Amino acid sequence: MNAEILAVGTELLMGQIANTNAQYISGRLSEQGINVYYHSVVGDNPRRLKESLELALKRSDVVIMTGGLGPTQDDLTKETVAEILNRKLILHQESLEKIKAFFQSINRPMTENNIKQAYLPEGSLIIRNDKGTAPGCIIEADGKVVIMLPGPPSEMKPMFEHTVIPYFSEKSDYKIESKYLRIFGVGESAMEEQLIDMIEKQVNPTIAPYAKEGEVTLRVTARCGKQENAAELIEPVVREITNRLGNAVYSTDNKNLEEVAGELLINHNISIALAESCTGGLVTSKLTNIPGISKVLNRTVVSYSNEAKIESLNVSPDTLQKHGAVSKETAEEMAIGTREAARTDIGVSITGIAGPEGGTEEKPVGLVYIALADKNGVCSKELRLWGDRSRIRNTTSLFVFDMIRRYVLKLD
């Protein structure tokens, strides 16, 4: 079964919002064994919308449409689908009552045009929308399936999970399950060399690498009957990959590197203080997304200036004069200083040149030093990164979390 995702909305074509729905739906469909061959985007234009849908129905078994289900005149998705499939639009009373209840709950009058959202093509399987007013639907016609969902991701995703995924699962005689391995510290090409025999011989499960900024994800996917245990196929492959790549595999549960590092700190009750220069609080921001991190995260000093490094972190003026703000020596004194000031188990520091300006031949853009201090001393690492300012800062944060992760693992 092959699918096409057709996003409706002029705002997508104008670049006002990103089409994150297509990325999400594609990932979920692949896990159901449904191939996505096309992504299409069309504006709120009746003729072009009709042409795009007709083309999609010619070349795909399933067309999933997002957007164009609202109350205004330019929301034409249902009308276009009904015309092409020769279906009448019929008032769905339950959806209408839900829309009325929504407006009552927010103490606002419901305008007449909102009734339009409760009209759905006859013979549809209605998809309830618990996060908004526009219901979705699934239509089967002439061996094809058309699925309509609202555009806002906060509405679309729950509807997709609660109705669309079970719909496809019931249609299939088999199931697709995947496990995701997150890898840091080994490049994609080096990783492939270590796994090349497994990749070349793969049948079931399959192994698919995905390079992401600064790291690599491996998806191990098994296909089996609904009553079979997919884990029996997946786990031996995961174990072999982990054995070969060692602790470069930081998660087999698709967790982010900051999640893994933060949970290790929490589970081992290791308190931490940070000193950030070129990352400007980015590492702290990512850490504070982790529930329970307040148990171990004491403080952060964003020490952009030399004065801040001296006054808040006790970095020696002589060190700054002799080695500069971006140096191994400064990073180490920053880590020691923040740990001593906060009286934490460890102190972690970052100092570097994120660009686009400020680099020299001796110290180019992308030169970053990170350090970690504990009661026994301090260690540091020099990084030579590339890319724009955002990439350098984000990649630096990954190296910091990996340093923390490896430090805690050595304590076990």
Integer Cα distance of 350 and 370 in angstroms:
5
End of a domain among 226, 251, 276? Answer: 251
Q: Clarify whether residues 157 and 196 are in a common domain.
A: no
**Can you give the pLDDT at residue 99?**
93
Residue 175: predicted pLDDT: 84
Rounded to whole angstroms, what are the CA distances from 80 to 69, 73, 145, 147, 219? 11, 13, 15, 13, 38
- pLDDT tier for residue 30 given thresholds of 50, 70 and 90: confident
Among residues 377, 315, 319, the alpha carbon closest in space to that of 347 is found at 377
Same domain, 273 and 204: no
Provide Rg for the chain, Cα atoms. Answer: 27
159 and 308 belong to one structural domain = no
Give the per-residue pLDDT at 317: 98
Among 54-63, 135-144, 201-210, 323-332, whose mean pLDDT is lowest?
201-210
Residues 107 and 20 in one domain: yes
- Between the alpha carbon of residue 152 and those of residues 9, 116, 126, 141, 362, the distances in Å are 11, 18, 18, 26, 49
Q: Buried b vs exposed e over 335-361: b needs ≥16 C-beta within 10 Å?
A: bbbbbebbebbbbbbbbbbbbeeeeee
Domain that residue 379 falls in: 257-411
Other CB atoms within 10 A of residue 36 CB: 19
Comparing 86-95, 136-145, 212-221, 256-265, the range with the smallest average pLDDT is 212-221
Q: What percent of the chain clears pLDDT 90, i.e. is strictly above it?
A: 90
Q: Verify that 225 and 150 share a domain, yes or no.
A: no
Q: Are 223 and 174 in contact (CB under 8 A)?
A: yes
pTM score above 0.85: no
Would you state the pLDDT for residue 32?
84
With a cut of 90, say whether residue 212 has pLDDT above it: no
Whether residue 229 sits in one domain with residue 145: no
Backbone angles phi, psi at 399, to 5 degrees: -65, -35
For the record, the structure tokens of 179 come out as 């496990």
Query: Residue 130's domain is classified under what CATH number?
Result: 3.40.980.10
Residue 85: name the closest of 135, 140, 150, 3 by CA. 140
Q: Which residues contact 14 (CB under 8 A, 6 or more apart)?
A: none
* Tally of domains within the chain: 3
CB neighbours of residue 210 within 10 Å: 11
Q: Which of the listed residues 220, 251, 282 is the one where a domain comes to its end?
A: 251
Q: Does 50 score more than 90 pLDDT?
A: yes
Residues 204 and 278 in one domain: no
Lookup result for tokens 């500069």:
324
Q: Are residues 11 and 160 in the same domain?
A: yes
CATH value at residue 401: 3.90.950.20
Q: Retrieve residue 171's tokens.
A: 């249609």
pLDDT digits (tens, 9 = 90+) for 377-389: 999 999 999 999 9
Question: Are 39 and 82 contained in the same domain?
Answer: yes
State yes or no: pLDDT of 64 exceeds 90.
yes
pLDDT at res. 176? 84
Residue 299, both tokens: 């403080």
Mean pLDDT of 320-343: 98
Instruction: Taking residues 79-91, report their average pLDDT.
Output: 96
Q: Mean of the per-residue pLDDT values for the chain?
A: 95
Domain end call among 105, 139, 171: 171
Output the pLDDT for position 251: 98
116 and 10 in one domain?
yes
pLDDT recorded at residue 33:
81
Under 8 Å between Cβ of 114 and 105: no
* Other C-beta atoms lying within 10 Å of the C-beta of residue 328: 15
305 and 261 assigned to the same domain: yes
Q: How far is CA 238 from CA 208, 209, 303, in A?
A: 12, 13, 42
Tens-digit pLDDT profile for residues 221-275: 998 988 889 999 999 999 999 999 999 999 999 999 999 999 999 999 999 999 9
Please compute the mean of the pLDDT values over residues 275-298 and round it to a whole number.
98
CATH of the domain at 223: 3.30.70.2860
Alpha-carbon distances of 408 from 144, 195, 266, 337, 338, rounded to whole Å: 53, 27, 11, 20, 19
pLDDT for position 319 = 98
pLDDT confidence band for 74 (50 / 70 / 90):
confident
Same domain, 207 and 149: no
